[in-house]
């Protein structure tokens, strides 16, 4: 075991011991990792170590209790770590979506994106403002030259509105079991953002037919440039996943990005 993983395990075990005093680093199983965190499992608990915003536990409670999102219950939080209840299900990445998922996500996104009154005030107090314009998505973007040329040629205008958003809603963060959505994970990037961002990664991962069904039911803010921005963000996100998969050896991300390119880019 390399020193970095050993350190992450010790930090994770220390956080879990606030819930289960006998937890040890050796008893932790790696669930996965992203660009800025690693997730471990300890029995019926999950602990994420790394970049964990201090606001995330309060946000999860709000999402679960006020908006009905299937998010994990936070059990303990400290700087750089959060302990959550384990949710049932498996990540949807690389698998076909179950029937009814588009409608379910459309309803959940509508509730989140149209939150108003006191609820919107609470969300505004928790979430940072993501004012990233579409052109900024190109900063540092890499990939095949022909695909990059398409993305750089078709940069849309910025969104006219920002809403409470997950802001990283890809299939790897959706848990499904028995044909139903059981969890929506990793809200660390949640922000007041372009609503099209929450649809874009679903287009990348689940395809145009799925997204057409979702948008037909969605009742959030859809402006004339919405579809154009969804496609642009999805193309950028596919290239990001391709680079991430190649750099880390995560073949599932490479395969997903290559598959998505078939419907995201002209042939």
What was the pLDDT predicted at 1? 64
Q: What is the pTM of this model?
A: 0.93
pLDDT along the chain (267 residues), means of 10: 80 95 92 83 94 90 97 94 96 96 99 98 98 97 97 97 98 97 96 99 98 98 98 98 94 96 94
CATH code for the part of the protein at 91-264:
3.90.1200.10
Distance, CA of 175 to CA of 172 (rounded, Å)? 8
State the pLDDT at residue 108. Answer: 99
Q: How many CB atoms lie within 10 A of CB 79?
A: 6
Arch. (CATH architecture) of 3-86: 2-Layer Sandwich (3.30)
Q: How far is CA 193 from the centre of its chain?
A: 13
Domain boundaries, the chain: 3-86, 91-264
Give the pLDDT score at 35.
72
What number of other Cβ atoms are within 10 A of residue 103's Cβ? 14
pLDDT at 54: 87
Sheet holding 37-42, edge to edge: 29-33, 37-42, 45-50, 81-85, 74-78
Whether residue 245 contacts residue 252, with contact meaning beta carbons closer than 8 Å, is answered with: yes
């Amino acid at each position: 075991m390399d020193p970095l993983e050993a350190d992450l395990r010790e930090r994770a075990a220390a956080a879990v011991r606030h819930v289960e005093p006998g937890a040890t680093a050796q008893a932790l199983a790696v669930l996965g990792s992203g660009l800025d965190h690693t997730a471990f499992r300890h029995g019926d608990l999950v602990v994420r170590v790394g970049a964990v915003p201090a606001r995330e536990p309060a946000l999860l409670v709000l999402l679960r209790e006020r908006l009905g999102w299937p998010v994990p219950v936070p059990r303990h939080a400290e700087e750089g770590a959060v302990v959550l209840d384990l949710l049932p299900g498996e990540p949807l990445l690389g698998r076909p979506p179950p029937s009814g998922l588009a409608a379910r996500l459309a309803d959940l996104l509508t509730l989140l994106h149209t939150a108003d009154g006191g609820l919107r005030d609470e969300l505004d107090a928790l979430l940072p403002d993501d004012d990233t314009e579409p052109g900024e998505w190109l900063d540092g973007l890499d990939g095949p030259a022909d695909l990059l040329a398409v993305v750089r040629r078709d940069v849309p205008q910025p969104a006219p509105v920002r809403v409470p958003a997950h802001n990283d809603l890809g299939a790897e963060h959706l848990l499904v079991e028995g044909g139903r959505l059981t969890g929506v994970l990793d809200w660390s990037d949640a922000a007041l953002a372009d609503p099209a961002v929450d649809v874009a990664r679903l287009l990348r991962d689940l395809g145009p037919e799925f997204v057409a069904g979702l948008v037909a039911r969605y009742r959030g803010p859809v402006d004339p440039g919405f579809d154009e921005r969804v496609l642009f963000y999805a193309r950028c996100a596919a290239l990001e996943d391709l680079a991430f998969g190649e750099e880390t050896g995560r073949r599932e991300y490479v395969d997903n990005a290559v598959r998505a390119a078939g419907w995201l880019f002209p042939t």
